[in-house]
Structure 1
Amino acid sequence: MPAPGPGQVRVKLEGCGVCGSNLPVWEGRPWFDYPLPAGAPGHEGWGRVEAVGGGVEHPSVGTRVAVLSHHAYAEYDLVDACAAIPLPAILDGQPFPGEPLACAMNVFQRSGIKPGTTVAVVGIGFLGALLVSLAVKAGARVIALSRRRYALDVARRLGAMETPSSDDVRGAVKRVKALTNDVGCDCVLEVAGEQSTLDLATELTRIRGRLVIAGYHQDGPRTVNMQLWNWRGLDVINAHERDPQQYVDGLRAAIAAAATGRIDPAPLYTHRFALEELPRAFELMRSRPKGFLKALVLP
């Protein structure tokens, strides 16, 4: 059992979310180096501080925290103290995969969604569902698009006014145009990280609208319809943060949102696995059967 170094805390993990960005690692794509360090690439962990290193005053031993790390598929993790953010008592007993919740808050902040705007969310997984909920509660008219019926059912329960299937691209574009008087959407969030969803999101964004890239396009280059981007004068936002402080700020915002009821991620955690069942969690995430949205692994 490693002792925490200066500025570190050791966290006894209660669980870790399983992220879609981990699938290529599990599949063995050639751009990764193996073997990975123990606990990698789990980055959605939470737990309780068990020991602190030199110079650490907060968080103290016994504090329940969400952590920003990359080794949380484990029973314990060593984390910089500044990346272990305390969870309030109102969230006791609730899973809290902080990184994707922080990501949702950061994407939403970058999107500039205001009351009365028409917003399309293309790709309804865990992140897409959170963004639907945030946009609805901000007073936007939300259109949710996905290939999966179950995901569209989730979006409707969260308040989406329309839920076209993205399987029929032409039909989806036609439906959105009809809903917006042939104008398109003020803001479109692309959340799936695929060429097809990027193309569809472009088509749905109105002249001088905002196209927000929230999907993780990690498997190679993409092509864009630059003619359409130019003609419509789109504002294109890459909503992936790389500033560590912004991650922390987003996590604090997510904790506050969950504590006040602005977000309620609990219904979106659809499957739970023991740590040794992690391969089953990955396989389920790859196949995405009916009823699947987000898996958690619990040591």
Structure 2
Amino acid sequence: MRIAVLTGPERFEIAEVPPPEIAPDEVLVRVRACGVCTSELPAWRGEPAAEYPRHLGHEVSGTVAAVGADVTSFAPGDPVGVWVTSHGFAEYVAAKAAHCRPAGDVPLDEALAEPLACAVNAVEEADVRLGDDVVLIGAGFMGNLVQKLVRLRGVRHLVVADTRPDALQRARELGATRVVDVRGESLAEVVGELTGGRGADVTFECTGGQAALDAVGDVTRMSGKIVLVGFHQGGPRSINLAYWNWMAFAIVNAHYRDVDVIMRGMTVGMRLLASGVLSLDTLVTHRFPLDEIDAAFRAARDKPAGFVKATVTVD
């Protein structure tokens, strides 16, 4: 089978290797798509100094090709969303059956169960309630997923802030009650006007950047919730902790390493997808064949106009 191997900074090579063998509790999945995650960009760039070769890819969807001796939950041919920790940019991947979820009739290149689980867990941990005022900073792929899920909670105001006109237009189309281009408009003033000076009940930070951390405290009400969805990599970040203490913010770190939590998020997310309550049809915008995986990563880095999510597809 073919597999993409990261052999150096910004350089994948396609290798021919035998398909992986599966354990009794595993399934062999014929990969249809694997999403490019922002968290993988530093490794692709070689930051920090990385060891090579490396096998990236954890947002997998595909069909079951074979099952281990102890597996009764799936059969060959079943479409699935899959969570693995690596080796996803390949024609086949081995995964524990317990880490797969049925995809039903969802287009397989949109059945990205792992990132959907992250968004589901973030919204559930934040406990967004009926009638809440919500601010979302960052209208990329994860921000869009969070926005879609927050709307299902029946909020009053859903304010989305970003710097990219195309991202803000997409947020409008996804149901934002107000969008804010922070390059020319004050997010704090907009939120203050909409909430009578009270501030947002819940603010989601979905960028992973310092600028969003600087803004969240200015738009969240006293004893409101700040939800850290963005993946903060690189150097240390700073916050005005004295002010955050005074405001008694509840801080939700929406990053989960407990496998049971990840699996529950996948279960909920794939139920929503398979039932048609949720769709990713407008969010997977850039698809690349396995041989062009470097182009997929460049698109994720450069974010050309209209970009939301890149996937590597395997025919």
Same fold (TM over 0.5): yes
| Contact residue 41 and residue 301 of structure 2 kept, 8 A | yes
Change (3 A) 1:157 1:194: same
CA distance in 1, matches of 2:303, 2:107: 29
| Contact residue 16 and residue 44 of structure 1 kept, 8 A | yes
Counterparts of 1:119-268 in structure 2, within 5 Å, are 119-140=134-155, 141-168=157-184, 171-268=186-283
Q: What is the DSSP-based 3-state SS (H/G/I as helix, E as strand, rest coil) of the residue aligned with 2:224?
A: strand
Give per-residue Cα distances to partners, 1:49-91, cap 9 Å, x unaligned.
1112232222222211111002211111011121122222x32
| Contact residue 61 and residue 109 of structure 2 kept, 8 A | no
Give per-residue Cα distances to partners, 1:222-259, cap 9 Å, x unaligned.
11110111111100110111110111111110111112
**Same amino acid, percent of matched pairs:** 36
More helix by share: 1
Name the amino acid aligned to 1:166: V
Change (3 A) 1:224 1:14: same
Change (3 A) 1:286 1:236: same
More strand by share: 2
CA distance in 1, matches of 2:146, 2:135: 10
CA distance in 2, matches of 1:226, 1:92: 45
| Contact residue 61 and residue 108 of structure 2 kept, 8 A | no
Name the amino acid aligned to 2:30: K
CA distance in 1, matches of 2:107, 2:167: 28
CA distance in 1, matches of 2:199, 2:239: 18
CA distance in 2, matches of 1:274, 1:157: 29
CA distance in 1, matches of 2:114, 2:182: 27
Change (3 A) 1:93 1:213: closer
Indicate the RMSD between aligned Cα atoms, in angstroms: 1.5
Aligned equivalent of 2:47, options 3, 6, 29? 29
**Could you tell me which residue of structure 1 aligns to residue 15 of structure 2?**
none
| Contact residue 109 and residue 311 of structure 2 kept, 8 A | no
Change (3 A) 1:265 1:34: same
| Contact residue 227 and residue 254 of structure 2 kept, 8 A | yes
CA distance in 1, matches of 2:102, 2:166: 34
CA distance in 2, matches of 1:12, 1:160: 37
| Contact residue 119 and residue 142 of structure 1 kept, 8 A | yes
Aligned equivalent of 1:274, options 274, 284, 289? 289
Change (3 A) 1:266 1:4: same
Change (3 A) 1:30 1:92: closer
| Contact residue 58 and residue 114 of structure 2 kept, 8 A | yes
Deviation at 1:290, TM superposition (A): 1.2
Change (3 A) 1:93 1:195: closer
Change (3 A) 1:31 1:213: farther
The unaligned stretches of length 5 or more in structure 1 are none
**Could you tell me which residue of structure 2 aligns to residue 73 of structure 1?**
89
**Could you tell me which residue of structure 2 aligns to residue 48 of structure 1?**
63
TM-score (norm 2): 0.89
**Could you tell me which residue of structure 1 aligns to residue 110 of structure 2?**
95
| Contact residue 3 and residue 53 of structure 1 kept, 8 A | no
CA distance in 1, matches of 2:49, 2:249: 32
CA distance in 1, matches of 2:49, 2:272: 36
**Could you tell me which residue of structure 1 aligns to residue 36 of structure 2?**
18
Q: Aligned residues, how many?
A: 294
| Contact residue 30 and residue 91 of structure 2 kept, 8 A | yes
CA distance in 1, matches of 2:275, 2:102: 15
| Contact residue 130 and residue 263 of structure 1 kept, 8 A | no
**Could you tell me which residue of structure 1 aligns to residue 25 of structure 2?**
7
